[in-house]
Amino acid sequence: MKKNSLFLIVFIFLLQGLFGQNTLKTMVYNLLEFPSAPPANRQLILKDILTEFLPDLLMVNELESEPGADLLLNESLLSISNHYARATFAPNQSSSFQNLNQMVFFNTDKLTLIDEELFETTVRDINHYTFGSIQ
Instruction: Tell me which residue of 31, 40, 95 sits closest to 69, measured CA to CA.
Output: 31
pLDDT of 70 strictly over 90 = yes
Residue 34, exposed/middle/buried by CB under 10 A (0-12, 13-18, 19+)?
buried
CB neighbours of 130 closer than 8 A, spacing ≥ 6?
113, 114, 115, 116
* CA–CA distance, 104 with 113 (Å, rounded to integer): 10
- 87 vs 4, higher pLDDT: 87
pLDDT value for 22? 76
Q: How confident is the model at residue 20 (pLDDT cuts 50, 70, 90)?
A: low
Give the residue with greater pLDDT, 7 vs 37.
37
Kindly report, residue by residue over 81-134, the tens digit of the pLDDT: 999 999 999 988 886 667 889 999 999 999 999 999 999 888 888 899 999 988
